[in-house]
């Protein structure tokens, strides 16, 4: 018996993370928390394995008057909030051109709105083969298809040849292409595109733009605040200035990680174009989608961001809190990578962020073998993901070697 509409009845959300997390929970009950390594959780935990919340954020949030939390917000978001998300997205690397932003329910909402409005129904959206599974869920939900290019070449650099081949393949049939690139601090590998990679990507798209094709590049910057020095990790953004009018740049801004505000579901989709009309159209179509999706988003979180931004002392204290969290997780990732090099574990090139990954032909087997050492990581299609954001440094030590043993056995 099914009562769902025909397009909806086969939808099932398969999440590799929940399976691994459930096995870990069972092991923790049996062996105790201290003996178990839980590398499945995608949020930052401190060295006592408690959720990290930035103290300044907590203090400011608790001071917001009830009426500012409870009132409705404008559909596109509070205007000052939108201005602030643009400034936070670009920092000192603002591209030249017309820019705008729309408030969204987290970075997920921003990706949803981009796919909703810049990919034709039935057509393909391009991303890498190592990717956040939700991209596929969003595409399928909207009747679009996700195509993958191979992210790494044989030297573990950005595989421009595969990117080019896939763009060519899609633009042979489509008039327009939406490309999602999660960089820097990519989930699930911690990889980032270099300036040179970006030049190649944008030069390629310019050649298609000259032939009249349209391209939209959505850069998913969910983890950018844990990727390195603020302006260094944003320097590629300047390249989005003065592009041909048929190339649109989009950035998905999120308060989830940067403000440790995951459950408050607040973000923005930021756009840059050399053409005013493209940005005017962006404002209209995004507002329409927001009305249809969630009407308006969490006012309290927007208010919080403004209170942090508008007070120099609060902002400094917030940045200090965040930098401490960043250092904590970066040290864990760096230690894992150091030990991986020492034992020749072929981990993918991690530069920063919440996750790193080890490729294998048999991810489930490797993940299962790790259970023998009471290590729980997430088996993906192409490898095993380790959430360094949630594992205390004392448990990171020795993990690479155990993974290497599991890999050899598998
Ligand atoms: C790659 C990537 N992009 C975007 C997001 C969006 O998160 P949120 O919707 O909580 O902002 C996440 C969260 O896990 C993610 O891993």
For the stretch 255-299, pLDDT in tens is 999 999 999 999 999 999 999 999 999 999 999 999 999 999 999
pLDDT at residue number 119: 98
Q: Report the sign of the C-alpha dihedral through residues 257, 260, 265, 268, in that order.
A: negative
Q: How many CA atoms lie within 13 A of 346 on its CB side?
A: 12
**Residue 354 near residue 196, CB atoms below 8 Å:** no
Q: For residue 298, say if its preceding peptide bond is cis, omega within 30 degrees of 0.
A: no
pLDDT at residue number 18: 79
254 CA distance to ligand 1 middle (Å): 7
Per-residue pLDDT of the chain (410 residues; tens, 9 = 90+): 999 999 999 999 987 787 888 899 999 999 999 999 999 999 999 999 999 999 999 999 999 999 999 999 999 999 999 999 999 999 999 999 999 999 999 999 999 999 999 999 999 999 999 999 999 999 999 999 999 999 999 999 999 999 999 999 999 999 999 999 999 999 999 999 999 999 999 999 999 999 999 999 999 999 999 999 999 999 999 999 999 999 999 999 999 999 999 999 999 999 999 999 999 999 999 999 999 999 999 999 999 999 999 999 999 999 999 999 999 999 999 999 999 999 999 999 999 999 999 999 999 999 999 999 999 999 999 999 999 999 999 999 999 999 999 999 99
Bridge partner list, 250? 218, 271
Give the 3-state secondary structure of 301-353: HHHHHHHHHCCHHHHHHHHHHHHHHHHHHHHHHHHHHHHHHHHCCCCCCCCCC
Helix (H, G, I), strand (E, B) or coil at 251: strand
101 CA distance to ligand 1 middle (Å): 18
In whole angstroms, give the CA distance from residue 347 to residue 359: 7
Residue 202 has φ and ψ, to the nearest 5°, of -70, -35
List, in order of start, the domains of the chain with CATH numbers. 16-54+315-409 (3.90.1150.10), 74-297 (3.40.640.10)
* Protein residues with CB under 6 Å of any ligand 1 atom: 42, 106-108, 132, 182, 187, 220, 222, 254, 256, 262, 267
Kindly give the number of the ligand 1 atom that is closest to the alpha carbon of 267: 11
pLDDT at residue number 19: 82
In whole angstroms, give the CA distance from residue 156 to residue 346: 10
Kindly give the number of the ligand 1 atom that is closest to the alpha carbon of 255: 11
| Radius of gyration for the chain, computed over Cα atoms and rounded to the nearest angstrom | 21
Provide the 8-state DSSP code for 385.
E
Kindly give the number of the ligand 1 atom that is closest to the alpha carbon of 252: 4
Substitution candidate for ligand 1 out of 127, 135, 256, 305 with most atoms within 8 A of CB:
256
355 CA distance to ligand 1 middle (Å): 12
Helix (H, G, I), strand (E, B) or coil at 247: strand
pTM of the complete model: 0.97
1 CA distance to ligand 1 middle (Å): 35
Give the 3-state secondary structure of 340-373: HHHHCCCCCCCCCCCEEEEECCCHHHHHHHHHCC
Residue 160 has φ and ψ, to the nearest 5°, of -65, -35
pLDDT at residue number 281: 98
Q: Whose CA is nearest to atom 6 of ligand 1?
A: 107
Which residue carries 């909703």 as its tokens?
116
For the stretch 177-215, pLDDT in tens is 999 999 999 999 999 999 999 999 999 999 999 999 999
In whole angstroms, give the CA distance from residue 235 to residue 55: 29
107 CA distance to ligand 1 middle (Å): 5
Kindly give the number of the ligand 1 atom that is closest to the alpha carbon of 186: 1
Kindly give the number of the ligand 1 atom that is closest to the alpha carbon of 109: 9
350 CA distance to ligand 1 middle (Å): 18
190 CA distance to ligand 1 middle (Å): 14
342 CA distance to ligand 1 middle (Å): 32
Kindly give the number of the ligand 1 atom that is closest to the alpha carbon of 262: 10
- Residue 176, CA distances (Å) to 17, 123, 170, 216, 346 in order: 33, 9, 9, 8, 37
Bridge partner list, 359? 383
Helix (H, G, I), strand (E, B) or coil at 182: strand
């Amino acid at each position: 018996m099914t009562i769902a509409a025909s397009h909806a009845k086969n939808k099932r959300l398969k999440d590799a993370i929940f399976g691994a997390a459930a096995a870990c929970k069972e092991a923790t009950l049996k062996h105790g928390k201290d003996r178990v390594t839980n590398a499945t959780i995608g949020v930052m935990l401190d060295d006592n394995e408690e959720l990290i919340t930035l103290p300044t954020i907590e203090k400011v949030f608790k001071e917001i008057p009830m009426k500012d939390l409870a009132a409705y917000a404008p559909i596109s978001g509070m205007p000052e909030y939108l201005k602030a998300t643009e400034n936070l997205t670009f920092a000192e690397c603002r591209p030249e051109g017309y820019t705008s932003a729309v408030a969204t329910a987290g970075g997920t909402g921003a990706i949803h709105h981009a796919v909703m409005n810049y990919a034709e129904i039935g057509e393909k959206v391009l991303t890498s083969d190592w990717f956040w599974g939700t991209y596929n869920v969003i595409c399928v939900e909207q009747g679009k298809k996700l195509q993958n290019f191979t992210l790494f070449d044989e030297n573990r650099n950005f595989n421009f040849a595969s990117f080019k081949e896939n763009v060519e393949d899609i633009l042979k049939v489509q008039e327009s292409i939406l490309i999602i690139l999660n960089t820097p601090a990519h989930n699930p590998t911690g990889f980032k595109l270099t300036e040179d990679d970006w030049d190649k990507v944008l030069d390629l798209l310019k050649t298609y733009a000259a032939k009249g094709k349209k391209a939209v590049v959505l850069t998913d910057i969910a983890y950018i605040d844990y990727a390195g020095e603020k302006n260094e990790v944003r320097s590629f953004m300047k390249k989005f200035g003065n592009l041909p009018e048929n190339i649109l740049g989009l950035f998905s801004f999120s308060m989830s990680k940067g403000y440790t505000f995951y459950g408050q579901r607040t973000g923005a989709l930021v756009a840059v174009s050399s053409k005013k009309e493209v940005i005017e159209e962006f404002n209209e179509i995004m507002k329409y989608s927001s009305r249809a999706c969630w009407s308006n988003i969490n006012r309290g979180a927007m208010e919080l961001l403004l209170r942090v931004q508008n007070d120099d002392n609060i902002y400094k204290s917030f940045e200090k809190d965040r930098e401490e969290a960043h250092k904590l997780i970066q040290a864990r990732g760096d230690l894992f990578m150091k030990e991986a090099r020492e034992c020749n574990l072929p981990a993918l090139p991690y530069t920063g962020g919440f996750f790193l990954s080890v490729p294998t032909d048999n991810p489930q087997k490797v993940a299962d073998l790790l259970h023998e050492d009471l290590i729980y990581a997430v088996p993906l299609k192409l490898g095993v993901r380790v959430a360094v954001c949630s594992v205390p440094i004392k448990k990171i030590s020795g993990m690479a070697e155990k993974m290497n043993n599991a890999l050899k056995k598998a």
